[in-house]
A and B are shown apart, each in its own frame.
Chain A
Amino acid sequence: MLELRKDLFADERDDTLNVVGKSVQRQDMPGHVTARTRFFDDHAFDGLLHLKVVRSPHPHARIRSIDVSAAARAPGVKRVLRAADVPVNKNTLLSLINFGKDDEPALAVDKVCYVGEPVVAVIAESEAAALAARNLVRIEYEPLTPVFDVEEALKPGAPVVNPTYPNNYFEYHERFDHQKLRFGDVEAAFARADIVIEHRYQMSPIEHAPTETNGSIAAPEHNDRYVVHTCAQGLFFSLGTTAKIVNLESNRLHFIGGTVGGGFGGKVDSLTEPLAVLGAMLTGRPVRFVLDREEEMLYGSPRGAERIYIKDGLMRDGRIVARYVRSYFDAGAYTRLSSYAAIKCTAHIPGPYWIPNVASDIHVAYTNRCPSTAMRGFGITAVDFALEVQMDRLAEAAGLDPMEFRILNAYRDGDVKPHRRVAKNTALIECVQVAAEKANWPLSDQARRQSSLVGGGTGARAEIPATVLDQRGQIGRPESRGAPATGTLPAGAMRIPLTKEPVMEGTRDGRAAPVQVPRYAPAPAPGPAGPPPAAAASRPAAPPASSAPPFYPPAPSPAPVAPPPVAPPAAPPTQHGAMRFSSVFGTRRR
Chain B
Amino acid sequence: MLDVRTCGSLAEAAGLLSADRQAHLIGGGTLVMRAVNEGRLTEGTLVRVTDPAFRQMNLGGPRIELGAGVTMAMVLARGELAFLHPAARSIGGPAVRTMASLGGNLFAGPPYGDFTVALLALDAQVVLQAGYGGGRAVALEDFLAARARGGQGLVAAIQFARPQSPGDFRFRKISRVRPKGIAVMTLAAHLPRAGGRIAQARIAYGAMAPTPIRARGVERALEGKPLDAVSLQAAAQAALEGCRPATDAIASEWYRREVLPVHLARLLAGDGR
Residues of A within 8 A of B (CB): 52, 75, 128-129, 131-132, 134-135, 292-294
Chain B, Cβ-Cβ closest to A126: B1
* A-contacting 9-mer, from B33-41, B103-111, B163-171, B232-240: B33-41
Residues of A within 8 A of B43 (CB): 132
Flag if B42 contacts A135 (CB, 8 Å). Answer: yes
Chain B, Cβ-Cβ closest to A131: B39
Residues of B within 8 A of A131 (CB): 38-39, 42
Tell me the complex Cα distance, A131–B43, Å. Answer: 10
Flag if B1 contacts A75 (CB, 8 Å). Answer: yes
Q: B18-62 CB contact bits vs A (8 Å, 1 = yes)?
A: 000000000000000000111100110000000000000000000
Flag if A128 contacts B38 (CB, 8 Å). Answer: no
Tell me which of A75, A129, A132, A292 contacts B38 (CB under 8 A).
A292
Tell me the complex Cα distance, A134–B1, Å. Answer: 13
Chain A, Cβ-Cβ closest to B36: A128
Tell me the complex Cα distance, A132–B43, Å. Answer: 8
Flag if B1 contacts A135 (CB, 8 Å). Answer: no
Can you identify 18 A-B contacts, CB atoms within 8 angstroms? A52-B39, A75-B1, A128-B1, A128-B2, A128-B42, A129-B1, A131-B39, A132-B1, A132-B42, A132-B43, A134-B39, A135-B39, A135-B42, A292-B37, A292-B38, A292-B39, A293-B38, A294-B38
Residues of A within 8 A of B2 (CB): 128
Residues of A within 8 A of B36 (CB): 128
When A and B form their complex, which 7 residue pairs have the shortest distance between CB atoms, in order from nearest? Answer: A131-B39, A132-B42, A131-B42, A292-B38, A135-B42, A294-B38, A134-B39
Residues of B within 8 A of A128 (CB): 1-2, 36, 42
> What's the minimum C-beta distance from A580 to chain B, rounded to whole angstroms?
41
Tell me the complex Cα distance, A52–B39, Å. Answer: 10
Residues of B within 8 A of A292 (CB): 37-39
Residues of B within 8 A of A135 (CB): 39, 42
> What's the minimum C-beta distance from A136 to chain B, rounded to whole angstroms?
10
Residues of B within 8 A of A294 (CB): 38
Tell me the complex Cα distance, A293–B2, Å. Answer: 21
> What's the minimum C-beta distance from B89 to chain A, rounded to whole angstroms?
24
Residues of A within 8 A of B37 (CB): 292
> What's the minimum C-beta distance from A50 to chain B, rounded to whole angstroms?
11
Residues of A within 8 A of B42 (CB): 128, 131-132, 135
Tell me the complex Cα distance, A52–B42, Å. Answer: 14
Tell me the complex Cα distance, A131–B36, Å. Answer: 9
Chain A, Cβ-Cβ closest to B249: A297
Residues of A within 8 A of B1 (CB): 75, 128-129, 132
Residues of B within 8 A of A132 (CB): 1, 39, 42-43
Task: List 18 other contacts, CB 8 Å, given A128-B36, A132-B42, A134-B39.
Answer: A52-B39, A75-B1, A128-B1, A128-B2, A128-B42, A129-B1, A131-B38, A131-B39, A131-B42, A132-B1, A132-B39, A132-B43, A135-B39, A292-B37, A292-B38, A292-B39, A293-B38, A294-B38
Chain A, Cβ-Cβ closest to B37: A292
Chain B, Cβ-Cβ closest to A293: B38
> What's the minimum C-beta distance from B121 to chain A, rounded to whole angstroms?
32
Tell me the complex Cα distance, A132–B39, Å. Answer: 7
> What's the minimum C-beta distance from A175 to chain B, rounded to whole angstroms?
41
Residues of A within 8 A of B39 (CB): 52, 131-132, 134-135, 292
Chain B, Cβ-Cβ closest to A76: B1
> What's the minimum C-beta distance from B44 to chain A, rounded to whole angstroms?
11
Chain B, Cβ-Cβ closest to A135: B42
> What's the minimum C-beta distance from A70 to chain B, rounded to whole angstroms?
13
Which has the most chain A C-beta neighbours within 10 Å: B1, B36, B37, B42? B42
Chain B, Cβ-Cβ closest to A134: B39
Tell me the complex Cα distance, A439–B247, Å. Answer: 39
> What's the minimum C-beta distance from B93 to chain A, rounded to whole angstroms?
15
Tell me the complex Cα distance, A293–B37, Å. Answer: 10
Tell me the complex Cα distance, A59–B38, Å. Answer: 21
> What's the minimum C-beta distance from A252 to chain B, rounded to whole angstroms?
33
> What's the minimum C-beta distance from B12 to chain A, rounded to whole angstroms?
25
Tell me the complex Cα distance, A292–B1, Å. Answer: 19
Tell me the complex Cα distance, A131–B37, Å. Answer: 9
Tell me the complex Cα distance, A293–B36, Å. Answer: 13
> What's the minimum C-beta distance from A526 to chain B, rounded to whole angstroms?
52
Chain B, Cβ-Cβ closest to A297: B249
Chain B, Cβ-Cβ closest to A295: B38
> What's the minimum C-beta distance from A574 to chain B, rounded to whole angstroms?
51
Tell me the complex Cα distance, A147–B153, Å. Answer: 46
Tell me the complex Cα distance, A135–B35, Å. Answer: 13
Residues of B within 8 A of A293 (CB): 38
Which has the most chain B C-beta neighbours within 10 Å: A128, A292, A294? A128
Which has the most chain B C-beta neighbours within 10 Å: A129, A131, A135, A292? A131
Tell me the complex Cα distance, A584–B1, Å. Answer: 51
Tell me the complex Cα distance, A75–B3, Å. Answer: 14
Tell me the complex Cα distance, A521–B169, Å. Answer: 80
Residues of A within 8 A of B38 (CB): 131, 292-294
Tell me the complex Cα distance, A128–B37, Å. Answer: 8
Chain A, Cβ-Cβ closest to B39: A131
Chain B, Cβ-Cβ closest to A129: B1
> What's the minimum C-beta distance from B43 to chain A, rounded to whole angstroms?
7
Chain B, Cβ-Cβ closest to A136: B42
Chain A, Cβ-Cβ closest to B42: A132
Tell me the complex Cα distance, A135–B39, Å. Answer: 8
Tell me the complex Cα distance, A134–B2, Å. Answer: 15
Chain B, Cβ-Cβ closest to A130: B39
Tell me the complex Cα distance, A425–B257, Å. Answer: 52
Tell me the complex Cα distance, A128–B3, Å. Answer: 12
> What's the minimum C-beta distance from A503 to chain B, rounded to whole angstroms?
50
Tell me the complex Cα distance, A237–B43, Å. Answer: 40
Tell me the complex Cα distance, A209–B241, Å. Answer: 37
Tell me the complex Cα distance, A129–B36, Å. Answer: 11
Tell me the complex Cα distance, A294–B34, Å. Answer: 11
Residues of B within 8 A of A129 (CB): 1
> What's the minimum C-beta distance from A459 to chain B, rounded to whole angstroms?
52
> What's the minimum C-beta distance from B36 to chain A, rounded to whole angstroms?
7
Tell me the complex Cα distance, A49–B39, Å. Answer: 16
- Chain B, range 1-16, C-beta contacts under 8 Å to A: 1-2
> What's the minimum C-beta distance from A133 to chain B, rounded to whole angstroms?
9
Residues of B within 8 A of A134 (CB): 39
> What's the minimum C-beta distance from A293 to chain B, rounded to whole angstroms?
8
Chain B, Cβ-Cβ closest to A52: B39
> What's the minimum C-beta distance from A481 to chain B, rounded to whole angstroms?
35
Residues of B within 8 A of A75 (CB): 1
Tell me the complex Cα distance, A135–B2, Å. Answer: 14
Chain A, Cβ-Cβ closest to B34: A293
Chain A, Cβ-Cβ closest to B41: A131
> What's the minimum C-beta distance from B175 to chain A, rounded to whole angstroms?
17
Tell me the complex Cα distance, A294–B2, Å. Answer: 21
> What's the minimum C-beta distance from B248 to chain A, rounded to whole angstroms?
13
> What's the minimum C-beta distance from B106 to chain A, rounded to whole angstroms?
24
